[in-house]
Structure 1
Amino acid sequence: MASRNRIFDLLRTINVASCQCPAHGYRGNVHVTSATPVKDYAFEMKNSTIRYGLGVTREIGMDLVNFGAKNVCVMTDSNLVSLSPIKSVLESLTKNGINYQVYDKVHVEPTDTSFKDAVRFAKNGKFDSFVAVGGGSVMDTCKAANLYYSDPEADFLDYVNAPIGRGKPVTVQLKPMIAVPTTSGTGSETTGTSIFDFEEIHAKTGISHAALRPHLAIIDPLHTLTLPQTVSNYSGFDVFCHALESFTAIPYNERGPAPSNPALRPTYQGSNPISDVWARFCLQVIQKYFTRSVYKGDDIEARSSMHLASTMAGVGIGNAGVHLCHGLAYPIAGNVKTFVAKDYGTEPIIPHGLSVVVTAPAVFRFTAASDPEKHLEAANLLGANTTGKKLADAGAVLSDVILKYMDAMKIENGLSELGYSSDDVPNLVKGALPQQRLLQLTPLPQSEEDLTKLLEDSLTVY
């Protein structure tokens, strides 16, 4: 205890003696205490190792050799299994003498049932590493398969986020995993998050822990050339909202409680100076390349830029987190009725990026009061002229620019075009309430009445 007190005495001495000129950002004496603070006071930056470049997939077999891999589980979906991204991965594995088995039954917008099927496949193989080739659904499924393969005695709900599951921290050693994203949206290749539809409650939830992060992310823009226009559109709006939400999330030093042990600091920590850098980068890329990447599928510059932005947004959200757009999106997607999205098969589905952006205009009108300057900055980065705009107008300005992008990309006119009416709003609110991990990252507290109004305001948006 004596040595601990001496450390705090030294910190106080340094604080008093340090330079206090304006050039060094002096903002008054910092109170140092040995007590555990109520709110957090630190943030961490963790992400997968990222390798980016045209044609870089050819190196994946060598990476697995370097990992010492002998028997690899390759996961993809039925749409991708015959396309060039999976072919290039398997060619590299074969060339480098890697044995593998392919699981191609990943469910787009996975459920707890589809997760469990993938886990069974993994447990039936003696795998020493995992490779995911596809969009967020594939990568999230592969993360879950790796987790439950590595902890075969775990109950499924052990690792699912509270309050739906038990939120158990991951203490087992997972196998090496390489992620090869083929869409530009989720950023799952860099995050420790695995999302699925929990069928019992008709809402999305997930597993969140740093241990789930892939060891390596192979970011090869060539794979995006196979993306249909609608998929590029909806997944691009996932990047769009990742950047906006992480940028406007509650600041890391206003989120609480502070962890009693650094190992307990949550994956989603709130906005911070480093995640803000990634968010600004992504918003600038979106302003320049999003429209081109959707309407000019062979524009390799635009699609390469959006592919990199997706990964950078993943780094941001993987540490800062997302908030209301995603919290409301989970019941919107989970309660789908008859809406069938083009290029997503024949079953009813509300793609993730669509379910997220449909409430974005209302959400950012609501959150603007928390930090008007930051909301105006976001609008400016997306191309809005904010000269002379008042702080009180921040929500309207950002909402308007979001609507311009939605209109340009022909996004459906609100929840009503996705099959919902005002009668469905109470059930959607009920599905959003368990998403406390996300709702608590919103920079303003929300009541059930607030959530109700946000959803009602999103029934039509134009």
Structure 2
Amino acid sequence: MKRGINILRTRSRIELINDTLRAIAGNSCRCPAHSPGLSNSSLSPQHRHVSSSDNISTDYAYEVASSNVRIGRGATREVGKDLVNRGVKRVMLFTDKNLMLQTPFSATEKALRDENIEFDVFSEVRVEPTDYSFKEAIDRAQLGQYEGFVAVGGGSVMDTAKVARLFDMYPEKDFLDFVNQPIGKGEPILRQLKPLICIPTTSGTGSETTGMAIFDLKSMNAKTGFSNRALCPTLAIVDPLNTLSMPKNVAIYSGLDVLCHACESYTAIPYYKRSPVPVNPMLRPAHQGRNPISDIWAVEALKLINKYFLRSVDTIEDEEASAQMSFASVLGGIGFGNAGVHLCHAISYAISGSVRKFCPPGYSPDHPIIPHGLSVIMTAPAVFNEIGYVEPDRCIQLAGLLGARINNIKTEDAGRCLSDHLCKLMNKLDIPNGLSALGFSPEDIPMLVKKTLPQERLTKLSSNPVTPSLLESIIHKSMNVYN
């Protein structure tokens, strides 16, 4: 067994803890009691004391939320006992039709049977779910009188399970009641949801750690979603053996999703610049802007991507690389699950929601599809070229973390440095050359801009103020990436 299979080495664990403590210490309050000569008004917003009489316009606190996460080779076998420990005897088991024939699903089935857990299989999950496919799962969940839920699959499977679990407890609610504003009402989730255990089979979405569920709203031909900490799975079982069966393109696009999660969360606006201030802490959004904790997860994820991503797709059977990319997905998920992502993801929802005929090798759905990771990376070079103007230091740091030479990079070249490095990586991975290769033309730019603008949950986290002209420029430059 390769030594690298031990994903969370003792040294790495200690380094991560130390980094966390240093970050928290660096963000500690420097109030007059601890720093003589400083007045409260002289402090930056994240350090100010806040009283009920303060008239503040931006937030002053951040939260860190995630699923409980278990990581280990062969840990899938424990899922039955996990349900027994929670007093759950009957579950709805989510997967897709392809995975039903593969080892991760059969291992889960065995673990449930070994503990006499009764289960019904829902395999009608749609790759890149729609409101219709979500509603089909909701109907099944509400009829089944289940005590819990288990999801075995990628982001589409896990997101479908999250939404079915939500409406199992809210049968009286309309589908859009919990969907993100302004498309939905964005209502808070106040009831305790039943246990959900997620077992990911891809290394990318991070859905096993987050409170998000994304779908295509067919009436708008655009993506939107649910976003609430209450949707976080009860437990994520991250078993590196479950990702060894990914087709090459699935591994590539999943890895690119992790990369964008980390880069976008690291360059999102700081939490102390986000507004409005919640009138109740339960209304603080899950995506609240970058913070010292999310920064650590993003940086650690990118270190792993730089070292293991190309290995993991060049040789799918490379168990060490696969394990480390699973770990990167978890770290990236916790990071962006609390900080949020911005323009790459916001525009990607318009791109994938407007697919016409495209379907890449390695995917076999009964409908055209632009996989999520592919739609996200399409605009990344253009996005980070723009982000470089307002976050030059962070863009240079990101380029360095991904292996670029950053010695003597000038501030004005920060965005281009990161953009060029992303283009080189995309070229190595044989990514289609821009939106034109996915079936779009310059005539589609106004439509893509129009579909991006409602994604306010994401666009408001951009450090570049989002305008139609900025989006037009980014999308135009993304028509052909390798110029």
CA deviation digits over 1:7-47, x for unaligned, max 9?
A: xxxxxx9932324599xxx9799654522521001100000
One of 363, 366, 373 as aligned partner of 2:383: 363
Partner of 1:8: none
Letter aligned with residue 48 of structure 1:
S
CA deviation digits over 1:42-82, x for unaligned, max 9?
A: 10000000000000001110000001001111000111011
Structure 2 distance, partners of 1:332, 1:31, is: 41
One of 162, 171, 176 as aligned partner of 1:152: 171
One of 12, 23, 32 as aligned partner of 1:16: 32
Does the C-alpha gap of structure 1 residues 21 and 381 become closer, same or farther in structure 2, counting only changes over 3 Å?
farther
Gaps of 5+ in 2: 1-28
Moved over 3 A (4+): 19-22, 26-33
Partner of 1:203: 222
Structure 1 distance, partners of 2:454, 2:44, is: 40
Q: How does 1:373-388 map to 2 (within 5 A)?
A: 373-388=393-408
CA deviation digits over 1:287-327, x for unaligned, max 9?
A: 11100101101100101000110011000011000000000
Confirm or deny: 8 A CA contact 2:31 2:49 kept in the other structure.
Answer: no
Partner of 1:231: 250
Confirm or deny: 8 A CA contact 1:150 1:172 kept in the other structure.
Answer: yes
Letter aligned with residue 324 of structure 1:
L
One of 341, 346, 350 as aligned partner of 2:360: 341
Structure 2 distance, partners of 1:169, 1:425, is: 34
Does the C-alpha gap of structure 1 residues 21 and 149 become closer, same or farther in structure 2, counting only changes over 3 Å?
same
Structure 2 distance, partners of 1:420, 1:390, is: 34
Structure 2 distance, partners of 1:283, 1:289, is: 10
Confirm or deny: 8 A CA contact 1:36 1:258 kept in the other structure.
Answer: no
Is residue 453 of structure 2 the alignment partner of residue 429 of structure 1?
no
Q: Which stretch shifts more, 350-359 or 254-263? A: 254-263
Q: How does 1:256-275 map to 2 (within 5 A)?
A: 256-275=275-294
Confirm or deny: 8 A CA contact 1:293 1:303 kept in the other structure.
Answer: yes
Partner of 2:4: none
Letter aligned with residue 408 of structure 2:
G
Partner of 1:7: none
Confirm or deny: 8 A CA contact 1:39 1:256 kept in the other structure.
Answer: yes
Structure 1 distance, partners of 2:162, 2:475, is: 32
Confirm or deny: 8 A CA contact 1:36 1:260 kept in the other structure.
Answer: no
Corresponding residue SS for 1:188: coil
Structure 2 distance, partners of 1:196, 1:75, is: 16
Structure 1 distance, partners of 2:304, 2:159, is: 25
Q: How does 1:217-366 map to 2 (within 5 A)?
A: 217-345=236-364, 347-366=367-386
Does the C-alpha gap of structure 1 residues 452 and 74 become closer, same or farther in structure 2, counting only changes over 3 Å?
same
Q: Identity over the aligned pairs, expressed in percent?
A: 50
Is residue 455 of structure 2 the alignment partner of residue 455 of structure 1?
no
One of 41, 46, 52 as aligned partner of 2:60: 41
Structure 1 distance, partners of 2:264, 2:303, is: 15
Is residue 420 of structure 2 the alignment partner of residue 400 of structure 1?
yes
Partner of 1:90: 109
Partner of 1:441: 461
Shift of 1:383: 0.3
Q: How many residues align?
A: 447
One of 407, 428, 439 as aligned partner of 1:419: 439
Partner of 1:100: 119
Confirm or deny: 8 A CA contact 1:324 1:363 kept in the other structure.
Answer: yes
Shift of 1:348: 1.1
Corresponding residue SS for 2:99: coil
Partner of 2:22: none
Letter aligned with residue 423 of structure 2:
L
Using the size of structure 2 for normalisation, the TM-score is: 0.90
Partner of 1:3: none
Does the C-alpha gap of structure 1 residues 397 and 21 become closer, same or farther in structure 2, counting only changes over 3 Å?
farther
Letter aligned with residue 455 of structure 2:
Q
Does the C-alpha gap of structure 1 residues 63 and 36 become closer, same or farther in structure 2, counting only changes over 3 Å?
farther
Corresponding residue SS for 1:237: helix
Corresponding residue SS for 1:185: coil
Letter aligned with residue 287 of structure 2:
Y
Structure 2 distance, partners of 1:446, 1:130, is: 39
CA deviation digits over 1:118-177, x for unaligned, max 9?
A: 001111101010001000000000000000111111110111111111111111221000
CA deviation digits over 1:334-373, x for unaligned, max 9?
A: 0001111111115311000000000000000111122211
Does the C-alpha gap of structure 1 residues 28 and 432 become closer, same or farther in structure 2, counting only changes over 3 Å?
closer
Confirm or deny: 8 A CA contact 2:195 2:234 kept in the other structure.
Answer: yes
